[in-house]
Structure 1
Amino acid sequence: MSQNTETEFPSSWFQVPLSDLFLDPKNNIVDGPFGSNLKASEYQDEGIPVIRIQNIDRNRFIDKNINYVSEEKADFLSRHSFKSGDIIITKLGDPVGKACFVPKKYETGIIVADLIRARIDNKHLNDKFLLYQLNSSYLIKQFDKFTKGTTRPRIKLSIVRDLIVNLAPIKEQLRIVEFIEELFSELDNGVDNLKLAQSQLKVYRQALLKYAFEGKLTEQWRKENNPEPAEKLLERIKEERHQRYEQEVKEWKVEVKVWEREGKQEKKPRKPIKPVDFPSISKEILDQLPSIPRNWKWIRNNDLLYYVTSGSRDWKKYYANSGAYFIRTQDIKTNKLKIENAAFVNLPENVEGKRSLVQKGDLLMTITGANVGKVAYIKDDIMESYVSQSVALMKPINTRVSPFLHLYFQSDVYGGKMISGLVYGIGRPVLSLENMRESPITLCSFEEQEEIISSIESQFSIIDNLEKTIESGLQKSEALRQSILKKAFEGKLVLQDPKDEPASKLLKRIQAEKKKYLEEQKKQKKRKPKNTKKMSKELSIEEVLKTSDKPMLAKDVWQKSKHRDNIEDFYKELKDIQLKIKEVKKGTESLLSLAK
């Protein structure tokens, strides 16, 4: 126990290591199994649920993507089990220390290696009082202080057991929890309203895009201005592409002559790649596409591009602290390029792949991962930048079309839907460059495009400002939530009652109960049959396996070994002798035998 004199709190409170509040901390504050003892390959669609790190948030269980294991596997990992009402804490991630309750619907299950399960085993500590304190700034600072690692921050189980908790009298714990929940309820109502407004703005944004690309936004403008048909614009764009290619070929021939004249000492200049032509959209596909105005035209994305490419695959070796920007999927996940956190590459002069140089007027699109289909428009000049292999670079023939395409690909009904329909792969979605080229695009005159862009951007500017206001409100709500918890666990949220039994006496009762509990545990061990006790002490894993001519179930080896009461020691020995052990999978079970 320790009394922290630097922190002011009520005289009836007491500061104590977390483990001192549990009768049996070694069994009631535990982490998940050693990584290799619970593999993703053992997950199944039904059985005993497994809680993972992505299911845990502060004071909130995220009930998504739950995996399961067999009852036999869960029995083998019983030390790492949970039951409804337990507190689950993250010991890996950024940040560590997020905590929530297991909901009632999950009566029992298993936690993974990166989590800690805390099960309150006495009546002198209110579970909600502990949970709220774990998610308060007071405990967050301790988690941050002891977290190790930068790429994969983590904290040790032993450290978590020794975190200092502010203990209040039991009646005050109840008053604090009641007041926190009253205040949080009001906050939650406000947050719900903000999130509803946020979702409505997203719907409105998509409604605007739909209205624009079905031609209704500029319907009156067309009547007044009689713009040229899209067919004529397409002809000019194709002619521009042909002329550009011919010019590149002329320049290449000059470079080749210079190369020959200088003795062909370096690599021969590469001949320009001829732009690819795609067949027009068939009538069958046109009949399935949304209707558009008479003078608009459905075309292929390829018709507007000089070329499309993705980044080089082996540029990680060029990563540096400065140099050219290296744009990855996370840099464009909001349909805008956010270069601030981009990586840098320092490229040798002769490196291949400079076709992926990003320039003003280009479009970038993510082609792998969860954010596939996100698109950014390079509106202004940009420092030397290249795209990674997970990002496609689209080079329009005429960059005047780029802002129009940028909006088009954000529409869930038009470009966004076209692209998502071409994505393949389940675990890691992928969009090929060929898919991007063949995607249908609705084309209208440049003048009408600019009218659409002007109208949408003015509306989007209003939406953006409203979204910023909402986001600010959500952030203030979270800050207020933390302020409430800070006051609560400094003893400033509710009044103290001098009649309450002080926490120091509460702690003494916990200690007395712990002593009694441990004595009872010792008695129970003495009552075990002597032969069982002798076997559990004497047999190592290797010795257990020698007693059988056939492979044994891993859980049977554990039960017959000297580690039957401590599965962590069992894992440790198993790891130490892994070269002597042969493991064979039988369904979801592991069969162990000695390697020959």
Structure 2
Amino acid sequence: MTWAPEMTLGELADGGRFTDGDWVESKDQDPAGSIRLTQLADVGVGEFRNRSNRWMRPDQAASLGCTFLHPNDILIARMPDPIGRACLAPVTIGKAVTAVDVAILRLSRPDVDPSYVMWAINSPQFHSSVLALQSGTTRKRISRKNLANLTVPVPHLNEQRRIVDLLEDRLSRLDAADKGLALSLAKLNSLREQTIIHALTATDVPDRVDAALADVGTADGGLPSMPVGWSWARLGDVAEVVGGVTKDSKKQDDPSFVEVPYLRVANVQRGHLNLDTVTHIRVDPAKAKALRLEEGDVLLNEGGDRDKLARGWVWEGQIDDCIHQNHVFRARLNEPRLDPYFLSWTTNIFGGRWAERNGKQSVNLASISLSMIRKMPVIVPADGEAQRVVVSLHDQLASYDRLASAITESRNRGKALRRSLLTAAFSGRLLGDHADASVAEEMIHA
């Protein structure tokens, strides 16, 4: 037995409007136009995110027969992420239309509150129904026809408004708490990076080192000064640096080849290795032996987007007989004053900017060649200093990581509480004056 009558979105739209946005191509837009084209990015979960900056002229909108938005229209994203999320068009929307992958639900019924329906569409129950009807291979989407057949509970108008008031009060508190936690995490990450920089440079002006490195070319001169006993070197002078294996699909069935695990760019993250999914490749046995990773090898990415460039971490022998692909470089140290972790922290902190400046650039991708990465400047500390820095940093970073985990856990708990509040609101759990977040708190642990 349901706690309130169910109505489909199509029924709720009776007397109003339920339509897709408009198919507006680049040729139909004009940056100098006066009509705003809102897009998927503007539709958040319960909030109009105001991210797009696309415009049309009135004659362009008229020629396409565009649907103009009204304040409090419910905008429903028919594509991820998440699919089916909804928000209200703000009262300040002005002259605006929306893209075709956003559905417009305009209510005219006096017994239905648009804010209530919008939150009901964002509830976990409704989202589950959307997921069951999504289609598509590369990018999932849901049709407006399928959306029209999905239902939401519709209690008395007074009850709708009470639920909206309660939700918006509690959710605004959760949002404020999450923003505070996110800011704390950002500050912690900044402090973490500065701690590493100070430890690696043994100087009180690490920012000067970072700035100088950004401008360093491939010549030997121009490197910033280091404390007494510390120096700069090129990566190729302190380590054997090699590229990885290139997959040859034509030879995968060669009976002489052996199958071994190998690391891809996705496995090599900044400051850690993600080994949740490790694929295998068939290679010549001699190649497998030559590229077999050894404990202490430092891995660096050749490229991808700019965040991937030269990022990496230390191989600790987690998988036997593992090798690496051609988009991942391996640096094997031959300099006794260096430590693999010291080197990896150096390349993660300073290497990316240098590699971006000295590598190849395209619109979305950056890469650096094997010959060039061998010229990357790296810090060589005085005898015994690398090991001291590594031990000290491990202890300090472990403290940061514990705090970051606690912050992340709090944020996840807030997200769970948010979902539980929405679940409770649209399953009849938040009824009467007693309804508050404690009900949702119980649901988290149910």
TM-score by length of 1: 0.61
Measured in 2, the distance between the counterparts of 1:188 and 1:317 equals 54
What is the match of residue 229 of structure 2? 295
The alignment yields a C-alpha RMSD, in angstroms, of 3.5
- Relative to structure 1, the CA distance from residue 351 to residue 78 in structure 2 (aligned partners, 3 Å threshold; closer, same or farther) is farther
- Relative to structure 1, the CA distance from residue 21 to residue 347 in structure 2 (aligned partners, 3 Å threshold; closer, same or farther) is same
Shift of 1:179: 0.9
> Aligned to 2:339, which of 401, 409, 422?
401
List aligned pairs for 1:576-591, cutoff 5 A. Answer: none
Instruction: Mark the runs of 5 or more structure 1 residues left unpaired by the alignment.
Output: 218-277, 497-596
- Give the match's secondary structure for 1:130: helix
AA aligned opposite 1:403: Y
What is the match of residue 200 of structure 1? 187
Name the structure where helix makes up a greater proportion of residues: 1
Residue 442 (structure 1) aligned with residue 379 (structure 2): yes
- Give the match's secondary structure for 2:384: helix
What is the match of residue 379 of structure 1? 316
Shift of 1:484: 1.0
- Relative to structure 1, the CA distance from residue 421 to residue 189 in structure 2 (aligned partners, 3 Å threshold; closer, same or farther) is same
Shift of 1:139: 0.4
Residue 19 (structure 1) aligned with residue 6 (structure 2): no
AA aligned opposite 2:348: Q
What is the match of residue 169 of structure 1? 156
What is the match of residue 207 of structure 2? none
What is the match of residue 300 of structure 2? 364
Measured in 1, the distance between the counterparts of 2:134 and 2:81 equals 10
Measured in 1, the distance between the counterparts of 2:288 and 2:110 equals 66
List aligned pairs for 1:211-222, cutoff 5 A. Answer: 211-216=198-203
- Relative to structure 1, the CA distance from residue 304 to residue 100 in structure 2 (aligned partners, 3 Å threshold; closer, same or farther) is farther
Asked if 1 retains the 8 angstrom alpha-carbon contact of 2:246 and 2:325, the reply is yes
Residue 281 (structure 1) aligned with residue 217 (structure 2): no
What is the match of residue 272 of structure 2? 336
What is the match of residue 545 of structure 1? none
Shift of 1:191: 1.5
List aligned pairs for 1:66-77, cutoff 5 A. Answer: 66-68=53-55, 72-77=59-64
What is the match of residue 414 of structure 2? 477
Asked if 1 retains the 8 angstrom alpha-carbon contact of 2:261 and 2:321, the reply is yes
Asked if 1 retains the 8 angstrom alpha-carbon contact of 2:218 and 2:375, the reply is no
- Give the match's secondary structure for 2:276: helix
Measured in 1, the distance between the counterparts of 2:181 and 2:190 equals 14
Asked if 1 retains the 8 angstrom alpha-carbon contact of 2:260 and 2:288, the reply is no
Residue 432 (structure 1) aligned with residue 368 (structure 2): yes
Shift of 1:397: 3.7
Shift of 1:211: 1.1
Shift of 1:463: 0.8
What is the match of residue 144 of structure 2? 157
- Give the match's secondary structure for 1:340: coil
Measured in 1, the distance between the counterparts of 2:247 and 2:101 equals 31
AA aligned opposite 1:490: S
Residue 145 (structure 1) aligned with residue 132 (structure 2): yes
- Give the match's secondary structure for 1:341: coil
Deviates more, 1:399-408 or 1:482-491: 399-408
Asked if 1 retains the 8 angstrom alpha-carbon contact of 2:45 and 2:85, the reply is yes
What is the match of residue 488 of structure 1? 425
- Give the match's secondary structure for 2:432: coil
Asked if 2 retains the 8 angstrom alpha-carbon contact of 1:52 and 1:115, the reply is yes
AA aligned opposite 1:20: E
What is the count of residue pairs matched by the alignment? 410
Measured in 2, the distance between the counterparts of 1:383 and 1:150 equals 36
- Give the match's secondary structure for 1:125: coil
Measured in 2, the distance between the counterparts of 1:328 and 1:52 equals 34
Shift of 1:355: 6.7
Deviates more, 1:179-188 or 1:112-121: 112-121
Instruction: Mark the runs of 5 or more structure 2 residues left unpaired by the alignment.
Output: 205-216, 254-258, 434-446
Asked if 2 retains the 8 angstrom alpha-carbon contact of 1:14 and 1:167, the reply is yes
Measured in 2, the distance between the counterparts of 1:168 and 1:431 equals 58
Measured in 1, the distance between the counterparts of 2:68 and 2:267 equals 39
Measured in 2, the distance between the counterparts of 1:163 and 1:121 equals 19
Measured in 2, the distance between the counterparts of 1:366 and 1:84 equals 49
Measured in 1, the distance between the counterparts of 2:123 and 2:188 equals 32
Q: Deviations over 1:12-55 (max 9, x none)?
A: x2101111011356x5332553xxx635x877655454444344
Q: Deviations over 1:388-437 (max 9, x none)?
A: 56x331323438632112111332xx334433444554631302125433
Asked if 2 retains the 8 angstrom alpha-carbon contact of 1:315 and 1:345, the reply is no
> Aligned to 2:391, which of 447, 454, 464?
454
AA aligned opposite 2:427: E
AA aligned opposite 2:274: K
Measured in 1, the distance between the counterparts of 2:132 and 2:346 equals 47
What is the match of residue 178 of structure 1? 165
> Aligned to 2:19, which of 23, 29, 33?
29
Shift of 1:300: 2.1
- Relative to structure 1, the CA distance from residue 70 to residue 359 in structure 2 (aligned partners, 3 Å threshold; closer, same or farther) is farther
